[in-house]
């Protein structure tokens, strides 16, 4: 069954990254590698948060999680 592994790595001075495949992929014939630059600044993170609070699906998911915790809290706290 296909799966994805995601890691954020610091790029070394020599620009070379080494990938250790998990045991489940060692006999695979092909894998797909995608490299995306990560913008890891405070401004980029705030921008993503601002986008999230306008995302209807994200807000719906957040509401569902909140309802789940309310249910659990009421059982724990009586």
pLDDT at 78 over 70: no
Q: pLDDT, tens digit, for every residue of 21-54?
A: 888 888 888 999 999 998 889 998 899 899 999 9
Mean pLDDT of the chain, nearest integer: 88
Per-residue CA distances from 77 to 53, 65, 68, 70, 71 (Å) = 30, 18, 14, 10, 10
Q: What is the pLDDT of residue 17?
A: 93
Decide: pTM greater than 0.95: no
User: Where are the domains positioned within the chain?
Assistant: 23-77
């Amino acid at each position: 069954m296909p799966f994805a592994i995601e890691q954020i790595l610091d790029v070394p001075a020599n620009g070379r990254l080494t990938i250790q495949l998990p045991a489940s992929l060692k006999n695979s014939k092909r894998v797909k590698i995608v490299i995306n630059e990560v913008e890891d600044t405070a401004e980029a993170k705030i921008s993503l948060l601002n986008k999230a609070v306008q995302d209807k699906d994200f807000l719906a998911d957040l509401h569902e999680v909140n309802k789940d915790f309310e249910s659990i809290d009421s059982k724990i706290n009586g």
